[in-house]
Structure 1
Amino acid sequence: MRVRACLAAVIVLLATLVTPAHAELYHPRQDWLRASTAGLFLHWGMFTAPRHTDCAAWEHDVTAGGWTPDYWIDEATKLGASYVVLTTFHSRLGYARPWPSKIPGSCSTQRDFLGELIAAGKAKGVRVMLYMTDDPQWHNETGHESLDSAAYSAYKGHPVDLTTRPGFGEYSYDLFDEVMDRYADLAGFWIDNDNEYWEQHGLYEHIREKRPSMLLSNNNEDTPIMDTVSNEQKTGMTPSYDYPQAIYTPMPRLTEADYKLPTNGDWWYSGGDQAVDFRLSTGRYITNAGSSIKSLMAETAMLNGKFPPQQEAFNNFMASWTQPIKKTLEGTEGGGYMYGGMQPGFWNDGAHGVITLKGQTQYVHVVTRPSTNLVRLRDNGYRVTRVSDVRTGEPMRFAQSGGYLSILDIKDWDTYDTVFEVDTAGQQYFYDKSTIKATASASAPGHPASNLTDGSYLNYWDAGGQQPVSVTLDLGKKRSTAYLAVHERESSPTAARESFGRAEDSARIKDYRVYAGDDGKNWRSVRTGALPSTRGVQFVDVGEVHARYLKLEVLNTWSGPQAKPFFHQLALDEIDVAYGYPDPRGEVPLEAESWRNGFEGKASPVWCEACSGTAAVSGLDRGAVVFRNVQAAGPSQLQLDTAGPGTLSVSVNGAAPITVNAPAAIPVPLNPGGNTIKVSGTTALDRIAVAPLPPESYTPKTTLTVEPAGVQWVSPGRQSIKVAASLRLDVDDPVGQVSLAPVVPAGWTLEGAPVTAANLRLGQVLSGSWTVTAPAAQDVTIPVTANFTTLGRAKSVSKPVQVKPRPAGRVFMREAEDSANDIGDAGVTSCSPCSGGQKVRNIGGSAGAAVTFPDVVAGAAGQYTLYLDFTVNGDRSYFVSVNGGAPVEVKVSGAGNSTPYTTSVPVTLTAGANAIRIGNDRAGAPDLDRISLG
């Protein structure tokens, strides 16, 4: 697999954020993969340790070591994998071909390893796909030339340079043909990005014509002619195992998640026995299945084909661990998306999990267990009839009310995935969509609001880049509404990665308002709030609204301007309107209206459609509800759910009451055993919940953005820098006593006071700007720090502004990753030897993948020397354009992407601000560290 990961745009029929293309979403050749849960990715070739440079010697040692295809097929079966991707013709593994080839050009074996593997897999129901690379750049890695241009040129009868992309494309095109002719039972090709020669000469169309049953998969790109979109080694999610958070391709497009089982090291065996993180790997396996994504797991086969001991041990573990829950993974679809099902994701008390579906049966996979002994999740209107533990077969006590299913008294927690079988009688209390007419204040051509209620996830509404924007639902007559179930397009990732100090977020709804009306013109507000940036169906409870018209106004989304494909974009698949919740069953612990409680003064239960148990306790302004015998292990977190906003007064075990803004979660000094909690206030109380306090290390997830980002290179003398920052709360954990400001070193001055907020809630932002001044240019780090409290604990998050004096002989210097720049479709990555520890990668190949440096200030008009600090492997080119002028090619060479180099080119600048664009519209360019002017 290619080491670099592309930040490719989505170009598939279901994509919402770019021009749609016409992919074959369903075809019989895809059926076997749709029925699969997982595959085994095998990187194995000439450079597998111990490294070989002679093809015949490598083949001899593989055979002498006892290589057998049945071993790979059997290990794949242990992992629940129904296919194997053989990755030997790989740019970093010597471009070896594990079959007898008549086409010269790179290593080819006499023994037919590929044919033997295909036959062994066919005998045991495991398919084999062949990896093909597009990339010749590693042809002479460490000094060994892997490609034989002379031999291939003689074979073709004309000169072909295999070390160039066109030449390599011609060579590999012939290999596709040879393999198709030779192996009728090959399942297809797994292609590591596109080669221009292939595209220009219709390779994929040729494969479709010659072998229409062969599957085509492409790494990191959503190419319409491909059957599968593969996603390489995504990281940075919370929780770390939730790989689907980084996927941007909507169902029903076939999607793979490609990840390494060895926690560290290369995709191939380079020596040693690398560990496998069981928690991470099993979590990925389960959450992928719960999102209809195939887990393509990479293991590092040694020279003789065997896996190192720790990988073998993991395979053996998986064979036994998945056995009791196979029915919950095989032949299922992910729940909470287009196939129906309850809501996956973050549940109560720290729980996290997914849903898998098979018919009317749903499987609740609790991957991260809660801190309590119950799991509470949105039921999405499904009436639950029975719950049982899949591993033990034991029936489970459960309660259902107010749109939630609570599975109670859980004792048998699995270390990695506790699974419950939930039998249902289908969904209840949703209006027939054919009776609802949807219109919108704006729509993109071809994606009208009527798609929101057509019942098809292949059609969607696109807001056409407008925000705020609204959707109006005409119910046909005055009706009752309890909640909206909103299905957002799964066309943007929800993992908040960062580039040059700024968060990259999703095109999902953040702040919204819901209005009701009877004539479609006059409106009353019924709900305001924020939705989380998470995948799966989202719910907006409106209580009990009686109106003909409902209007959902989306004020903004979670994405900022730095995430160009997602900024100001919004698209929704469907909106369901519910007029009630499944009938209550059982009692959820600590309901306010429970007969076990005491009611003082005017406090009494009242009907509450949207409340848990469909009841709440009102009259708390002239009375109180007393919860007796509340069990706890000690100091705890107390959650207070209310029917609306207001204040509550809470007394624990007779102590002086404290006042809180509700709904809320607060720390309370509960004793081990039974406790008494008394609540009064200005709003109706729905329920309380008690959970252990999170560990002292817990800090609610926030996004702190600071500008400028990237090292600030300043001239000698007194310096002033403007600093701006914003803190956003990304989770539904309210924080209070918030302050935000830079912390300047001694001798510096700070202009501007800290910005403060009494509290923040989900999606809310606190922003400020300041001027910091140094007496002289210094090498210093200025932390910009946000302080706040959560559950009574003081917390802080911080990001630095790095300032350094500009080197002598330079009149201007700026990092490529600086927030002042526009990096287009390129991306930022870490680079320890680079200036500032980062660089910009994925430059070139299109007009959008370029870095533009605005405000490059020259003291006077004239010619300057522009220095480019970069990393590169092989021969590549930049094209440099100044102020929109003709681009000038700058050719560079290098021997590794972790070694910084410097080159220069003369440029003519005007006095004052200039714009310099660095890219390569036709081919990949080197990674860029920084620029400077001499």
Structure 2
Amino acid sequence: MGLRRVCAAVVAVLLASLLTVVAQGPAQAEVRHPRQDWLRQSTAGLFLHWGMFTAPKHLNCAEWERDVTGGGWTADYWIDEARKLGASYVVLATFHSRLGYARPWPSKIPGSCATERDLLGELVRAGKAKDVKVILYMTDDPQWHSEHGVQMLDSAAYSAHKGEQVDLTTREGFGRYSYDLFFEVMRNYDDLAGFWIDNDNEYWERNKLYEQVRQLRPTWLLSNNNEDTPIMDTVSNEQKTGMFPSYDYPAATFTPMPRLSEACYKLPNTGDWWYDGGNHAVDTRLNTGRYITNAGSSIKSLMAETPMVNGRMPAQQETYNNFMAGWVPPIRESIHGVEGAGYLYGGMQPGFWNDGAHGVITINPRTGKQYVHVVTRPRADFVRLRDNGYRVTGVRDLRTGEQLRFTQSAGHLTIQGITKWDEYDTVFAVETLGQQGFYPDVKASATSSGNGFPASNLTDGSHETYWDAGGAQPVSISLDLGRRRKAAFLAINQRESSPTHARVSFGRPEDSSRIKDYQVTGSDDGRTWWHVRSGALPSARGTQFIDIGAQEGRFLKLTVLGTWGGPQAPVYSKQLKIDEIRVGHSYPRGSRDGALEAEDASRSGSARTESCAACSGARQVTGLGGGERNAVTYRDISVATAGTYALQLDVTAAETSTVSVSVNGAAPTSVAVPRDRADVPDAASIAVSLNAGANTVKVFSTGRLGLDRVSVGGLPPSNYTPKTTLTVQPHGVQWVGPGQQSVKITARLRLDADDQIDEVSLAPALPAGWTLTGAPAVRTSMRLAGLLEGTWTATSPAGQDVGSASIPVAASFQLLGSDRKVSGAVPVRTRPADRVFVREAEDSANQFGSTGLTGCGACSGAEKVRNIGGSADASVTFPQVIVPETRSYRLFVRFTVNGARSYFVTVNGGAPVEVKVDGVGNNTPYVAEIPVTLNAGANTIRFGNDTAGAPDLDQIALA
């Protein structure tokens, strides 16, 4: 008997003995384990959706296999394509609910398509020969069993195999069938690397499937889709979109390091996850950006391609793979075997940098070398980013080998004179002498701690322990320096357990749990406190900084006044968690090289230089108040081409004022500057017209202002609008009665980006004949986290029905002198004559619990409520359902569903009534009708299912 047969026999005995194993206690996450080491060293994987329904669709298993083999399918081709992408593993999704439940291996368990040729075995062997792991996808979902009119699950054959009746089209029956398949695969494929689980099945969990995988195949990985299941090694985050920049995939993820996580996304711009017959384009800019930003957050890029029946990739995907085969190797050391920097592995600050630049940092944990990845280049010839206390000794362009000039002061590294930009990722290798300037012995306490995560975790030196605020807001953290000491800044690493901005993902509302508004105070005795600084932090990943100027005292207190997350996403609202807070006492200093420092320019009147530790070059020019007589004048600000540029001024402001700029003697242009510290600079930008060559620029102010430095960059592109959150109420189509109607509208604009916008106005725009009560809401300027709110009443014309109307609500503003606009709308419709009440499920008047809204093009109002059922909280409640009299009504429920599901409908707190429905496709609306008895006036109707998933809900109506 060969060694392989011996191993298989041993595994078979273990399988038999473990089928009845019941693990004790709840599963615990193994955040780190030796079996994960290979994946931690990886950058990417290749996700292959391929099966019977790959175009051209096959409904017969033997015919599909014949065409696979006849078309020339080879395992080596897939492995080679993965290697071109820099991928260390392949996930094969063939046993997929939308691809016919095909098994690419010879199986002794009947129930769905299985090939005679061992395609899985060939792939595993090919991967092993070229050091590429293979992971097998497994689905829990039987609902698509007859999507194409042919039954793809053979319940009769499986029932005969088991000796009892099992319905594979139910979750219980399918869970039982697929449970057996796990063990068959474990028995037969020693060199498989694990399973990729597309959500859980109750049968698997009840029978401790994962615990048995752990015992039978302890080196195999388990990955789960879209949720953090403790026993899994990897959390996979599927197809996140809507971020800015669009490639910044980590902005939509929710898993803190060192937990392993994947970004799972399609490379083709359009089409299904599987080959649908089209040669869809691949956006190189988008996908290289995802690849790099994921590496900069220790997230693995699981890239989905769509192989054809013969295994070949469509031409545009092959072209992309070939591009990556040449693009990755020159920067390989910066993306392979590295970790994301700015988090628990140390490193400088990722995110948005100067002049529109955006990128990430990677760090080699063994050598300490850091890599600055500029994915979006700045509108200038330099990159300026926070150094996080690292003393830099050298900077080199990794692709060209060119040594670059740099300066370092005020907590920033500036890489200068950059002339060669890669189209997708310019990488700078940065050598440092390590981190300096932080106190190592700070003690922390807080006014509130929750869930067993005390404030002492904030300063214990470990990012793997954290403080939980316990839902309290405001909440204060006191930092004891041990004795009276100097302090210059706070460096804060918040828990990366939420996305960076409000969004909806698969119908679930998400939001950022990070600090928004804060206040810092100081004290010598812990009892009497003085104001140090207040402001807002951006909702961003990685280390965030609060510069506090020249402070001296024993205690610092950070009071978090509010976080970014709103109540529409209760899972994230007020859920502040912080890994570490460090107190910095000084900034690393480097050589100066003639940057546009204010102290090097000409001065007039009372303008004078003084020291400023938080300023570039450690000096600034003060005394600029009082107008043009007290000024700083630059005689030689040069540009190559005449045009309009963004002039950034780093200023300190002891009081609210304006800063003004005159270029070449022209009339000055001014911008408002809010009050802040006189020894901490902040940026203000003005659009200025410059001539080719040298220009004279004079800077002055109306109030007490200091000038640190200026820089010149291009204007933001015309398609850039700073990120805002515009909330318009009421949300959803408003169904009103006949005749004249009035609609109360409220709107709230929040600026989420670290830009300044000016001349801000917020107001509805009415259809012809309507009248508006209430003036536009206006602000002269807004900065990060600024708010603008307004309330109006819109009244339709007298003597006629509303009909079909839309009331846009627009926020207009200027960005560096250029007009921008964001808008929402309140659609209003007259309800049908045979309906006494109509309301959309997504209407803001409803209560949503843990459900969420999602788009649905075929639905009324183009939205619906998803994720109803499975718990008491996952429900939708319609309050204020108003009818004219007490009697029985016909309730029309408009819904979408795939398969058989049930609502339980409760009226005015009465006994729930089950409403069973069935349908095919979650984008096809159906209508169910049930009788309900309602009281005259207001009623409450609840839709839920406490124990199982319910259909998605579009609208209700009463006749």
> Which residue does the alignment assign to 1:14?
none
The superposition leaves residues 505-557 of structure 1 with CA deviations (integer Å, 9 ceiling, x where unpaired) of 30111111111111111111111111111111100000010010101011111
Amino acid at match of 2:618: T
Work out the CA distance in 1 between the residues paired with 2:672 and 2:250. Answer: 35
> Which residue does the alignment assign to 1:391?
399
Secondary structure of the residue aligned to 1:115 is helix
> Which residue does the alignment assign to 2:376?
368
The superposition leaves residues 793-842 of structure 1 with CA deviations (integer Å, 9 ceiling, x where unpaired) of 33322211000000122111111111122222222222222111111222
| CA 265–238 in structure 1, closer or farther in 2 if over 3 Å, else same | same
The superposition leaves residues 851-902 of structure 1 with CA deviations (integer Å, 9 ceiling, x where unpaired) of 2222222222332221111112222211212233322111111122222110
Deviation at 1:500, TM superposition (A): 14
Work out the CA distance in 1 between the residues paired with 2:581 and 2:544. Answer: 10
Amino acid at match of 1:855: Q
Residue 935 of structure 2 is aligned to residue 924 of structure 1: no
> Which residue does the alignment assign to 1:488?
494
Work out the CA distance in 2 between the residues paired with 1:464 and 1:242. Answer: 30
Contact 2:504/2:854, CA 8 A, preserved across alignment: no
Contact 2:342/2:542, CA 8 A, preserved across alignment: yes
Residue 629 of structure 2 is aligned to residue 625 of structure 1: no
Residue 839 of structure 2 is aligned to residue 814 of structure 1: yes
Deviation at 1:768, TM superposition (A): 1.3
Work out the CA distance in 2 between the residues paired with 1:310 and 1:387. Answer: 36
Secondary structure of the residue aligned to 1:446 is coil
Work out the CA distance in 2 between the residues paired with 1:191 and 1:218. Answer: 5
> Which residue does the alignment assign to 1:407?
415
Work out the CA distance in 2 between the residues paired with 1:153 and 1:204. Answer: 24
> Which residue does the alignment assign to 2:202?
196
For 1:291-690, list aligned pairs within 5 A: 291-358=297-364, 359-432=367-440, 435-497=441-503, 504-587=510-593, 589-594=595-600, 597-621=601-625, 623-632=630-639, 633=641, 634-645=643-654, 646-662=657-673, 663-681=683-701, 682-690=704-712
> Which residue does the alignment assign to 1:770?
792
| CA 415–106 in structure 1, closer or farther in 2 if over 3 Å, else same | same
Deviation at 1:580, TM superposition (A): 0.5
Deviation at 1:697, TM superposition (A): 4.0
Secondary structure of the residue aligned to 2:742 is strand
The superposition leaves residues 364-402 of structure 1 with CA deviations (integer Å, 9 ceiling, x where unpaired) of 000011111111100001000000000000101111110
Q: How many residues align?
A: 911
Deviation at 1:651, TM superposition (A): 1.7
Deviation at 1:721, TM superposition (A): 1.2
Deviation at 1:504, TM superposition (A): 4.9
For 1:897-916, list aligned pairs within 5 A: 897-916=922-941
Work out the CA distance in 1 between the residues paired with 2:216 and 2:659. Answer: 72
Work out the CA distance in 1 between the residues paired with 2:286 and 2:542. Answer: 21
Work out the CA distance in 2 between the residues paired with 1:518 and 1:558. Answer: 31
Identity of aligned residues (%): 66
Deviation at 1:588, TM superposition (A): 6.1
Contact 2:357/2:374, CA 8 A, preserved across alignment: yes
Secondary structure of the residue aligned to 1:874 is coil
Which blocks of at least 5 consecutive residues in structure 1 are unaligned? Answer: 1-19
Secondary structure of the residue aligned to 2:183 is helix
Judge which range, 578-587 or 880-889, deviates more. Answer: 880-889
TM-score under structure 1 length normalisation = 0.96
Deviation at 1:21, TM superposition (A): 7.8
Work out the CA distance in 1 between the residues paired with 2:508 and 2:247. Answer: 23
| CA 683–785 in structure 1, closer or farther in 2 if over 3 Å, else same | same
Quick one: which of 671, 688, 713 aligns to 1:691? 713
Quick one: which of 868, 882, 885 aligns to 1:843? 868
> Which residue does the alignment assign to 1:17?
none
Judge which range, 22-31 or 315-324, deviates more. Answer: 22-31
Secondary structure of the residue aligned to 2:212 is helix
| CA 588–48 in structure 1, closer or farther in 2 if over 3 Å, else same | farther
Work out the CA distance in 2 between the residues paired with 1:371 and 1:648. Answer: 22
Amino acid at match of 2:389: G
Amino acid at match of 1:717: G
Work out the CA distance in 1 between the residues paired with 2:593 and 2:883. Answer: 73
Secondary structure of the residue aligned to 1:173 is helix
Work out the CA distance in 1 between the residues paired with 2:251 and 2:820. Answer: 26
Work out the CA distance in 2 between the residues paired with 1:883 and 1:658. Answer: 62
Contact 2:492/2:581, CA 8 A, preserved across alignment: yes
Work out the CA distance in 2 between the residues paired with 1:192 and 1:532. Answer: 34
> Which residue does the alignment assign to 1:720?
742
Residue 770 of structure 2 is aligned to residue 748 of structure 1: yes
Secondary structure of the residue aligned to 1:105 is coil
Quick one: which of 258, 277, 280 aligns to 1:274? 280
| CA 659–127 in structure 1, closer or farther in 2 if over 3 Å, else same | closer
| CA 354–473 in structure 1, closer or farther in 2 if over 3 Å, else same | same
For 1:275-290, list aligned pairs within 5 A: 275-290=281-296
For 1:175-254, list aligned pairs within 5 A: 175-254=181-260
Work out the CA distance in 1 between the residues paired with 2:594 and 2:419. Answer: 17
Quick one: which of 853, 856, 860 aligns to 1:831? 856
| CA 502–371 in structure 1, closer or farther in 2 if over 3 Å, else same | farther
> Which residue does the alignment assign to 1:11?
none
Contact 2:506/2:854, CA 8 A, preserved across alignment: no
Which blocks of at least 5 consecutive residues in structure 2 are unaligned? Answer: 1-25, 674-682
Deviation at 1:403, TM superposition (A): 0.5
Contact 1:237/1:496, CA 8 A, preserved across alignment: no
Judge which range, 580-589 or 601-610, deviates more. Answer: 580-589
The superposition leaves residues 238-284 of structure 1 with CA deviations (integer Å, 9 ceiling, x where unpaired) of 00000000001111110000000111101111102111110111000
The superposition leaves residues 154-205 of structure 1 with CA deviations (integer Å, 9 ceiling, x where unpaired) of 1101100000000000000000011001111111000000011111111111
Work out the CA distance in 1 between the residues paired with 2:864 and 2:268. Answer: 27
Amino acid at match of 2:648: Q
Contact 1:626/1:679, CA 8 A, preserved across alignment: yes
Contact 1:611/1:643, CA 8 A, preserved across alignment: no
Secondary structure of the residue aligned to 1:31 is helix
Deviation at 1:443, TM superposition (A): 1.1
Work out the CA distance in 2 between the residues paired with 1:505 and 1:216. Answer: 27
> Which residue does the alignment assign to 1:794?
819
Work out the CA distance in 2 between the residues paired with 1:501 and 1:857. Answer: 28
Secondary structure of the residue aligned to 1:141 is coil
Deviation at 1:126, TM superposition (A): 0.7
Work out the CA distance in 2 between the residues paired with 1:169 and 1:542. Answer: 58
| CA 498–58 in structure 1, closer or farther in 2 if over 3 Å, else same | closer
The superposition leaves residues 718-757 of structure 1 with CA deviations (integer Å, 9 ceiling, x where unpaired) of 2111111011111122122222121222322212222221
Deviation at 1:502, TM superposition (A): 13
The superposition leaves residues 731-787 of structure 1 with CA deviations (integer Å, 9 ceiling, x where unpaired) of 122122222121222322212222221211110111111111113431111111222
Amino acid at match of 1:364: V
Amino acid at match of 2:424: Y
Amino acid at match of 1:517: S
Work out the CA distance in 2 between the residues paired with 1:582 and 1:503. Answer: 42
Secondary structure of the residue aligned to 2:743 is strand
Work out the CA distance in 1 between the residues paired with 2:668 and 2:287. Answer: 47
Amino acid at match of 1:431: Y
Work out the CA distance in 2 between the residues paired with 1:574 and 1:85. Answer: 36
